[in-house]
């Protein structure tokens, strides 16, 4: 992998990742951009102890532009976007409309491919591995920044999720605090250790591997399963068999198996609802793919894992977070985890 770092016209960092060590990425950004003036503010909710980010400048960000105005496509005559090169493989840059910035964190955009109409599931294993290597490199670099407590790599796909750019991409947040969900996991892991003397996440994986009705996919180094108390209609957790804190701790064998496993899961999600409802082929399945990594300090009980889920519960119905979920954070799932796992096995390649 070759890593090439440059600057955009407003001073933001842009990084190209290429499989070819001889790749040249020296295109300058010709846009007349003013420096980014983003001033997000962190406020602590005294009722819950959770941090809330106030980022009113994000109201002005680009929202679902036409394909010929996509800012994530390679630049060309008549179109200058966020990536100056005429082509690229994987590109990462600082978000121009960040939720976190300066001493209060950092937000980056990860472009998986120059192909506007593609998706992560369309990538080859080599290209998916390049994205994995980019996530790993960014995790290492961002974790070393002063004040960063947690690095979160994720992808939102689909207008149903709230995506504002259709081009296949994800994001990375470097938080200056431990996120609420991670804090809950850490507390649960501490209680489990005190009660059993064992690690919670190792026991969750072992339980899923023994409860075969919730298994989705099993490899030499990775297992995918539907959790016992799944919150979403179709929700899959992917764990390495060896507990590690974050992406940087994976072995080469674990890294080599992950791209194929991850691509298979994404492709199964896209086959979930085919043949259902009034349309035989509904649009691409909307999903969130969330890589949970331990905080930069004090996360020894936590485990790297992926949580992949969709808000679609059938070809024509979505799972809305209404009064119970949004108001009280009490989830109600319409599909049994065992039934979801069975369906995900049925749509295997």
Q: Are residues 65 and 111 in the same domain?
A: yes
Question: What pLDDT digit, counting tens, does each position of 237-287 carry?
Answer: 999 999 999 999 999 999 999 999 999 999 999 999 987 666 555 678 999
Positions of E strands within 176-247: 215-218, 222-225, 234-240
Q: Are residues 65 and 159 in the same domain?
A: yes
Q: How confident is the model at residue 8 (pLDDT cuts 50, 70, 90)?
A: very high
User: 172: closest CA among 155, 150, 152?
Assistant: 152
**Tally of domains in the chain:** 2
Q: What is the reported pLDDT for 61?
A: 78
**Judging by DSSP bridges, how do beta strands 90-94 and 51-54 pair with one another?**
unpaired
Q: What is the reported pLDDT for 250?
A: 98
Q: Are residues 163 and 14 in the same domain?
A: yes
Q: Are residues 189 and 129 in the same domain?
A: no
Is 140 a residue whose pLDDT tops 90? yes
Q: Are residues 261 and 306 in the same domain?
A: yes
Question: What pLDDT digit, counting tens, does each position of 61-100 carry?
Answer: 777 889 889 999 999 988 899 999 999 999 999 999 999 9
| Catalytic residue check, 192 | no
Q: For the domain that residue 34 is a member of, what is the CATH number? A: 3.30.428.10
Question: What pLDDT digit, counting tens, does each position of 45-59 carry?
Answer: 999 999 999 998 887
Question: What pLDDT digit, counting tens, does each position of 152-207 carry?
Answer: 999 999 999 999 999 999 999 999 999 999 999 999 999 999 999 999 999 999 99
Q: Are residues 32 and 111 in the same domain?
A: yes
Range of the domain at 293: 181-346
User: 217: closest CA among 306, 292, 301, 133?
Assistant: 306
Identify the domain boundary among 152, 177, 202.
177
Question: What pLDDT digit, counting tens, does each position of 300-335 carry?
Answer: 999 999 999 999 999 999 999 999 999 999 999 999
Contact 61, 77 (CB under 8 A): no
Identify the domain boundary among 177, 197, 222.
177
Identify the domain boundary among 177, 209, 226.
177
Q: Are residues 238 and 315 in the same domain?
A: yes
Q: Are residues 62 and 193 in the same domain?
A: no
Task: Give me the percent of the chain exceeding a pLDDT of 90.
Answer: 87
DSSP state letters, 85-153: SS--SEEEEE-SS-SS-GGG-EEEEEE--S-TT--GGGS-HHHHHHHHHHHHHHHHHHHTSTT--EEEE
Rounded CA-CA distance 275/183 in Å is: 40
Q: Are residues 224 and 274 in the same domain?
A: yes
Helices 180-196 and 200-210, packing angle to 10 deg: 80
Q: What is the reported pLDDT for 104?
A: 85
Rounded CA-CA distance 316/318 in Å is: 7
Q: Are residues 97 and 231 in the same domain?
A: no
Q: Are residues 231 and 88 in the same domain?
A: no
Contact 152, 247 (CB under 8 A): no
Please tell me which residue in 63, 79, 169, 305 is annotated as part of the active site.
169
The residue assigned the tokens 């691409």 is 284
Is 125 a residue whose pLDDT tops 80? yes
Q: What is the reported pLDDT for 36?
A: 83
Q: Are residues 144 and 252 in the same domain?
A: no
């Amino acid at each position: 992998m070759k890593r090439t770092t440059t600057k955009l016209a407003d001073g933001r960092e842009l990084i190209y990742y290429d499989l070819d060590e001889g790749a040249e990425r020296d295109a300058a950004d010709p846009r007349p951009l003013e420096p980014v003036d983003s001033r997000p503010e962190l406020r602590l909710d005294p009722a819950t102890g959770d941090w809330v980010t106030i980022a009113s400048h994000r109201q002005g960000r680009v929202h679902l532009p036409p394909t010929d105005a996509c800012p994530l496509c390679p630049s060309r005559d008549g179109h200058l976007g966020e990536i100056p090169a005429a082509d690229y493989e994987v590109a990462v840059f600082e978000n121009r409309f960040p939720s976190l910035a300066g001493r209060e964190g950092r937000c980056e955009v990860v472009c998986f491919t120059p192909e506007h109409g593609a998706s992560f599931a369309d990538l080859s294993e080599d290209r998916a591995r390049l994205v994995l290597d980019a996530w790993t490199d960014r995790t290492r670099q961002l974790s070393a920044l002063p004040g960063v407590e947690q690095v979160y790599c994720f992808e939102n796909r689909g207008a149903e999720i709230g995506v504002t750019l259709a081009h296949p991409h994800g994001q990375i947040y470097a938080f200056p605090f431990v996120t609420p969900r991670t804090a809950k996991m850490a507390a649960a892991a501490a209680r489990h250790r005190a009660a059993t003397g064992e690690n919670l996440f190792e026991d969750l994986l072992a339980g899923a591997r023994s409860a075969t009705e919730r298994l989705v996919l099993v490899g030499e180094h990775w297992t995918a399963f539907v959790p016992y108390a799944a919150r979403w209609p179709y929700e899959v957790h992917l764990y390495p068999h060896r507990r590690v804190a974050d992406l940087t701790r994976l072995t080469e064998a674990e890294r080599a198996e992950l791209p194929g496993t991850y691509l298979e899961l994404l492709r199964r999600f896209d086959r979930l609802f085919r043949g259902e409802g009034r349309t035989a082929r509904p649009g691409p399945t909307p999903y969130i793919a969330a890589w949970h990594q331990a905080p930069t300090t004090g996360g020894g009980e936590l485990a790297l894992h992926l949580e992949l889920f969709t808000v679609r519960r059938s070809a024509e119905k979505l799972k809305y977070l209404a009064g119970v979920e949004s108001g009280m954070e009490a989830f109600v799932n319409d599909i049994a985890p065992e039934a979801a796992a069975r369906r995900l096995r049925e749509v295997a390649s």
